[in-house]
Chain A
Amino acid sequence: MKVVLQNLTKIFPSRDKKAGKEVVAVNDFTFEIPDGKLIGLLGPSGCGKSTTLYMISGLQKPTSGKIFFGEDDVTEVSTENRGIGLVFQNYALYPHMTVKQNILFPLQNLKGADKLSKEEMDKRALEAARLVQIDELMERKPSELSGGQQQRVAIARALVKMPRVLLLDEPLSNLDARLRLQTREEIRRIQKETGITTVFVTHDQEEAMSISDLIVVMKLGVVQQIGQPQQVYDDPANLFVAKFLGTPPINVLEGTVRGGKVYIGQEAVLEVAGVADQPVYIGIRPEGFVLDENGPLSCKLSNVEVMGRDVSIVSTNPASLNPVIRSIINADNRVDVTSGTVRYSIKPHKFFLFHKDTEERIRFEVK
């Protein structure tokens, strides 16, 4: 089932009439979520990603715009009639019911023609439980489960009525680091097996990049960029997207373009074509640095962090907006720690220019 969002906007009125402005949580969001894909809505807190999810679920009504499931306009359809499964951030498992009762609960609500026999319900519940591998835990109460198991129960409960769309709100935020890795693969597996169009919300870029077919990066209610994770990482639309994706984060420096050359301080680090002379922001991915004794960019060396496969060189440059410049290079390179300075040349495809005022990307050709 594809999901189409058309000019979706959500405005929350201000609480305090005198002081406040209304808050535009989601601003003119248009996007077609392809059938059977896993979509990550990504952004810092307050960017409107959860609001978008809740509008798709029907728990919140859009101020304007439309939502389609397939060809059906569901904008005015109430939550229970949309055929969605929703997994809440803290799972919202009913604490007084066993795992089995929790999973059965949505089925017991079905009425009329959809009403199932008891055997049918048990069968469906067991199938859902098997899918998320909790069929051994059916008689336990949620309080007797670990965080990861609770998460699975919540997913089973959302899946048991075979929803057209599965929505997950920050599904991994309550899990510890190890479980997070495991569960995100689990979510990917379940999504692949069921083929249900799935939208999940996260503020963790690594999480979104690792399992999504497509990511949507949002900021202050406005969609910044939509694309495949690798493509968005390699080709960010603006400085915000570039900064938001990637660990360690991208290095941002101030510079100028003069006569087809990009200057950091007085050093011309790269020759670019088709860019007018102007002050710019420069983004360089940590993996975009190459140690080079004759390289154009010089930085003051602070220290070297050894990580085994790679080394991370921490240095400073007066033009840098981050406190330090962090580069990741292969551990085969020997770094002379005593010299005090380090020189780099730059990989052009890991090097981005942005307008100083709009922070939009400036595209260029490498000479």
Chain B
Amino acid sequence: MIQFQEVSLAYGARQVFENVNLTIPKGAVFGLLGPNGAGKSTMMHLLSGLLQASSGSVVVNGMNMSHHKLKAQQLIGFVPQEIALYEEFSAVENLRFFGSLYGIKGKTLEGRISELMASIGLESRKDDVLKTYSGGMKRRVNIAAALLHNPSVVLMDEPTVGIDPQSRNRIFEIIEKLHQQGVTVLYSTHYMEEVERLCSQIAIMDKGKILIQGTLDDLLKSGKKTHQICISFQETITDFKLKLPVTHHWNKEVLVLNCNKDEALTAVLNTLNSLGLEIANIDFSQPNLEQLFMELTGTNLRD
């Protein structure tokens, strides 16, 4: 179990985290969502021991990071956002080095390396130097390096950035396997579909605060129940400046409305009819995580 109790963190006068409380149950795959600069990586760094909270406590499986940092770090596997591996070493040499940092030696280490190389699908390339690997392959080794010591908590900071669907799927399989083994996974990403597929619990955070936390269903129920309605037309659209009573935007020639189906749709259809626009098709979609995310964090661009 991971617990953040009244955790605050400040860099000089700048408050990065303010009284954050969060509990991640043992064995959960916990999705952490937030725009750039929301504090996701900071949360990972506080958990991995890279940063120390200014106040409050971060507890991992009963061990306080402030008092038992080294013991807690032994329980944690950290997959950083960057590919934090030595490019001049082979995959096996990298894993041997990182395994030895956790006190794993000899046959145990070699056995674990073979097992992980098989699970990431790189057994045949294990002795090739890393710089000859593709981005996806490196990402998989990056994950393997965090799992060598059989951690009970795994922190994954955007582990699927910039990789092909095959590698991404293999990473999903690894996470699902960790979940089956009862490992607690904290998974940070920008991809909503990944969270929807993998995570039993989700938190959305912004500006160093947890905005909402719960299961996917809990989160969707808490939203404004806004539907997305996509309308396509018979003829080519030339005038995109429509005055409609609901929030809308154009996706090429498809009109996308964000509205409550019952209330506003009739009014929109009447307006379109009065303009002589002939509707070819209407698609309704259920409220989703992305809509909720935008609703909570806003549409302003972030650094």
B and A form one assembly:
no
Chain A residues with a Cβ under 8 A of chain B? none
Chain B residues with a Cβ under 8 A of chain A? none
